């Protein structure tokens, strides 16, 4: 499943460096321009990698957290845990 506006946010951020600068300075101001569902926006604000991973192309997920400045080790840890979380949810029906 793809969340269109979440995908659009990530796409715009990785393709427009100036927007990335603005986003790092004031995330809310940029997020206000995208009609994100409240639960999606909350996941963005919390850097909830597992939640976001289920809704965007993995490359866009990767690029987004590079733009955000998340350290590589932290992203790798979170994206790997996202897989473990998804497997656990799946095994619990």
Partner 1 sequence: MAELAGVFASSHAPLVIRGWKDISAPNQQSLKHAYDELGRRMKAARPDVIVEISPDHWVNFFINNLPAICVGVGEEHEGPGEPWMKACPYKTIAGHPKLATHIAQLAFEHDFEPAVSHHLILDHGFAIPLWKGGFDTLPPIVPIIFNDLEPPLPTVRRCLAWGSMLAEAIRTYPENIRVAILATGGLSHSIGEPTMGEIDEDFDRECLRHFEAADERRLVDFLNERLPTIGNGAAEVRNWVAAHGAAGKRGFELIDYCNVPEVYVGCGFASWNLGARP
Of 12, 3, 81, the residue nearest 43 (C-alpha): 3
4 sits near partner 1 (criterion: CB under 8 A) = yes
Binding residues for partner 1 restricted to 30-69, rule: CB under 8 A: 53, 57-63
Cα(36)–Cα(6) distance, integer angstroms: 7
Question: What phi and psi, each to the nearest 5 degrees, are found at residue 48?
Answer: -85, 85
* Candidate list 29, 35, 83, 89; residue touching partner 1; CB under 8 A: 83
Min dist CB 5 to partner 1, Å, is 11
Q: In degrees, to the nearest 5, what angle opens at C-alpha 60 toward C-alphas 71 and 46?
A: 55
79 sits near partner 1 (criterion: CB under 8 A) = yes
- Residues forming contacts to partner 1 in the complex (CB under 8 A) are 2, 4, 7-8, 11, 14-15, 17, 53, 57-63, 76, 79-80, 82-84, 86
């Amino acid at each position: 499943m793809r969340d269109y506006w979440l995908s659009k946010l990530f796409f715009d951020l990785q393709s427009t460096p100036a927007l990335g600068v603005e986003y790092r300075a004031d995330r809310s101001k940029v997020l206000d321009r995208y009609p994100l569902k409240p639960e999606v926006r909350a996941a963005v604000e919390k850097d909830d990698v597992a939640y976001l991973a289920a809704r965007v192309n993995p490359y866009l997920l990767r690029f987004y957290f590079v733009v955000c400045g998340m350290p590589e080790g932290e992203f790798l840890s979170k994206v790997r845990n996202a897989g473990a979380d998804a497997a656990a949810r799946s095994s619990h029906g």
